[in-house]
Chains A and B, each alone.
Chain A
Amino acid sequence: MNAHIKKVYVPMTETGFYILLCLQYPNHGYGIVQRVEQMTKGEIRLTPGTMYGSLSKMEKDGLISFVREEEKRKIYQMTELGRQVLELELKRIERLYRNSREGI
């Protein structure tokens, strides 16, 4: 993973994090919107402008790749680079959570 990817994606935006988390399995933009809404009990509603921009950017940076098209919806899945980024981010969040629980 090069420095540029690390700088741009770690730490990640909440939107970026959920997109990558969902794309461990093949899915399309609207599928991710629905999945995240369900996962967060309606607290996080991703919007199409943000979703389209993020998917394009992540595809360009090689974090996800295009799998196939189904009824005018592009299906993507996380790549090996995407998995590495997600793992780094998960470690960061786990550390954050652990430290907040342990107190100062």
Chain B
Amino acid sequence: MKKQKKEFKWFTIADYEKEQDYLREMHNHGWCFQKVNGLGMYHFEECEPADVIYQLDYNKKGLANKEEYVQLFEDCGWEYIQDFFGFSYFRKPIGIMNEEEGIFCDDASRLEFMKRILIGRMTPLLVLLFTIVIPQLITNGLLGNHSLSSFFLGMFTGILVGYLVVFIWYMKQYWNFKAKIYKE
């Protein structure tokens, strides 16, 4: 039986490049990525060390038409691993590439990918804001303060603020990239 290993890693939506590098690094050290679950528990299995490129895509239409979506990647030599929170994980060994490649070949499509994440992740933020935080604020304000509801309010506000920080950080990354490719 091959050795297994688990590692907890926290990557935000702004860190997909770091996540790709991490999985490649692990494979280089003889740990083949099996799956990720929970809040970021990465499962690995011992393997021959190899240089393998890992890539993440974020495509809701692709997830809705999965067979066809995965088929295109597999035709191009990319192995499909799994989906996790809207991201799809692919890998391809450097050995079968002519030169190092990724799943995107121009900046315009890289920007489109970032935009899909931006829009996809904005929805839960707005849902959280309008279904929990704002109603809680109103109820709390009108019905006075009892400890249970202020505990939940504090918790939800905490989550929201954390989410907002990551989201704004990601938006900054998006705008920087956009400015870089359209600088002329």
Q: Could you list which residues of chain A lie within 8 angstroms of chain B, going by C-beta atoms?
A: 13-16, 28-30, 33, 42, 45-54, 56-57, 69, 71-74
Contact = CB atoms under 8 A, between A and B. Distances in A.
Nearest to A57: B112
Given A42-B98, A53-B113, A72 B104 contact: no
Interface residues of B, number: 27
Contacts, number: 74
A45 B103 contact: no
A47 B68 contact: no
Given A33-B76, A56-B61, 10 more contacts: A47-B104, A47-B105, A48-B78, A49-B57, A49-B59, A52-B57, A53-B109, A53-B112, A73-B72, A73-B75
Interface of B: 55, 57, 59, 61-62, 65, 67-69, 71-73, 75-76, 78, 98, 101-106, 108-109, 112-113, 116
Contact of A54 (B61, B73, B98, B109): B109
B98 A73 contact: no
B154 to A, nearest CB: 41
